[in-house]
Amino acid sequence: MRLGVLDVGSNTVHLLVVDAHRGAEPTPQHSSKIQLRLAENLDRNGDLTKAGADALVHAAAAARAEADAMGCAELLAFATSAVRDAGNSARVLRRVARESGVELSSLSGEDEARLTFLAVRRWFGWSAGNLISLDIGGGSLELAAGQDEDPELAFSVPLGAGRLTHDWFSADPPPRGELAALREHVEKTLAKPAARLLEAGPPNRVVATSKTFRTLARLAGAAPSSEGPRARRMLTRTGLRQVGSFIARMASDDLAELDGVSVGRAHQVLAGAVVATAAMDALDVDELELCPWALREGVILRRLDWLEGG
C-alpha cells in the first residue's frame, strides 16, 4: 500500500511517500520539505506566532494535495516538540485540521523516542543486542535503550539544536561565555537520563539518527549522502570534538558552504555539536553509528504492524 507520512518538526515540515507492506522495507517514492523553523517562531509567552501558524496551515494543505496526487491510501500526520510544547498547541491543531484537512497528532516526547528506537531496531536487527538510540531534533533530544523492539527506557529532554540556538546564543558565532554556559546546561540536563539508560546494562551499540548527527558525521569525514543509505557511517568522540572546536569560530554563512551542511540548519550545527558531545560523554561512548531510519520510518512500521494485526 502507498502511505504518506507528514512530519511537522521543529525545523521542517517533511512529507515522505512510501510503498510499504509488513515484512518488507518501505520503498520511498517521493519526498518534499518546507522549512518553517517553528521552534524559532514562538512568542515570549511560548505560543506559536500567527505567522508560524499561518505557514503551518499552508504547508499542511500543500502536503495534503501532494499526498492525494501521489495516490496515498492514508496520510499519517504528526507534530513534534515545537507544536507539542506551544501554549496554544490545541488551538493551532484545530485550525490546521479545519483549514487544511490534515488531522495532526501531537506525539509525546516519549512516543518520539520509542518510535525512533523501533526504526533503529528494525534497521540493525536483533544482532545489535542492547541498543541506545539518540536523536537530536530542532526542539528536543530523544534517548531510548533496550534489547527488544519496544525500549525499556525512553526519554525526551528539551535540548533541540534550534531551541538551544534561539535561547542561548546572542551572536553568530556566539561569544565563548555563552558557549561555555550552554555546555554546562546541557551536561547537567543529560546527567540523569544518561545514568538511567546505562542502568539497563552496557550498550552493545549506540546509534544516532537525525539531520544534526548526519551533518556532524559528514563534517568529521563520514561518507556523503551520494553514497546511499547503506554506506556505514560512524562518528567518533575525537572527531566530534575536533568538529566542535572548528565550527565554534565560524559564522553560519561560512559553515553553510561546507559539504554536508544545509543553509537552513547551518546556524544550529554548533548547538547540535554541544548536545552530541555531551551525550557521548555522559554515556562514555567513543563512537556512534548512524542509522538512516528515524521517527518517520518508525511511524510507518508501527502503522503496518497495526494494520496486519487488525
DSSP the chain: -EEEEEEE-SSEEEEEEEE--TTS--EEEEEEEEE--GGG-B-TTSPBPHHHHHHHHHHHHHHHHHHHHTT-SEEEEEE-HHHHTSTTHHHHHHHHHHHH----EE--HHHHHHHHHHHHHHHH-GGG-SEEEEEE-SS-EEEEEESSSS-SEEEEES--HHHHHHHH-SSSSPPHHHHHHHHHHHHHHHHHHHHHHHHT---SEEEEESHHHHHHHHHTTPPPGGG-TTS--EEEHHHHHHHHHHHTT--HHHHTTSTT--TTTGGGHHHHHHHHHHHHHHHT-SEEEE-S--HHHHHHHHHHHHHHH-
Tell me the pLDDT of the chain averaged across its residues.
95
Residue 192 and residue 92 share a domain: no
Q: Which of 90, 107, 124 is the last residue of a domain?
A: 107
Residue 227 and residue 145 share a domain: yes
The string of pLDDT tens digits covering residues 223-257 is: 999 999 999 999 999 999 999 999 999 999 999 99
CATH of the domain at 128: 3.30.420.150
Q: CA 149 from chain center: how many Å?
A: 19
Residue 151 and residue 78 share a domain: no
**Tally of domains in the chain:** 2
Predicted confidence at residue 21, as pLDDT, reads 86
Residue 186 and residue 154 share a domain: yes
Which triple of cell numbers denotes residue 114? 520509542
Is pLDDT of 309 > 80?
no
pLDDT above 70: percentage of residues in the chain: 99
| Residue 196 within any structural domain of the chain | yes
Q: What is the mean pLDDT of residues 178-189?
A: 98
CB atoms within 10 A of CB 257: 10
DSSP 125-194: -GGG-SEEEEEE-SS-EEEEEESSSS-SEEEEES--HHHHHHHH-SSSSPPHHHHHHHHHHHHHHHHHHH
| Residue 267 within any structural domain of the chain | yes
Give residue 20's domain range. Answer: 2-107
Contact predicate 107/79, CB 8 Å: yes
Say what angle helices 237-247 and 211-219 make with each other, to 10 degrees: 90
Q: Which of 56, 84, 107 is the last residue of a domain?
A: 107
Predicted confidence at residue 271, as pLDDT, reads 98
The string of pLDDT tens digits covering residues 106-119 is: 999 999 999 999 99
Residue 86 and residue 145 share a domain: no
| Residue 308 within any structural domain of the chain | no
Q: What is the mean pLDDT of residues 54-68?
A: 97
| Residue 227 within any structural domain of the chain | yes
Distance between CA atoms of residues 198 and 130, nearest Å: 10
- Partners of 205 in the β-ladder: 131
Distance between CA atoms of residues 10 and 141, nearest Å: 12
Residue 91 and residue 55 share a domain: yes
Q: Which of 70, 88, 107 is the last residue of a domain?
A: 107
| Residue 92 within any structural domain of the chain | yes
Residue 139 and residue 44 share a domain: no
| Residue 170 within any structural domain of the chain | yes
| Residue 48 within any structural domain of the chain | yes
Residue 213 and residue 132 share a domain: yes
The string of pLDDT tens digits covering residues 120-143 is: 999 999 999 999 999 999 999 999
Residue 184 and residue 161 share a domain: yes
- Partners of 106 in the β-ladder: 79
Residue 102 and residue 115 share a domain: no
CATH of the domain at 92: 3.30.420.40
Contact predicate 60/100, CB 8 Å: yes
Is pLDDT of 39 > 60?
yes
Is pLDDT of 77 > 90?
yes
DSSP 39-50: GG-B-TTSPBPH
Q: What is the pTM of this model?
A: 0.95
Residue 241 and residue 191 share a domain: yes
Question: Which one, of 154, 158, 163, 161, lies nearest residue 193 by Cα?
Answer: 154
Predicted confidence at residue 22, as pLDDT, reads 80
| Residue 157 within any structural domain of the chain | yes
Residue 122 and residue 68 share a domain: no
Neighbouring residues of 58: CB distance < 8 A, sequence distance ≥ 6: 100
Ranking 18-27, 155-164, 172-181, 285-294 by mean pLDDT, the lowest is 18-27
Please state whether beta strands 2-8 and 12-19 pair in parallel, antiparallel, or not at all (unpaired).
antiparallel
Q: What is the mean pLDDT of residues 45-50?
A: 95
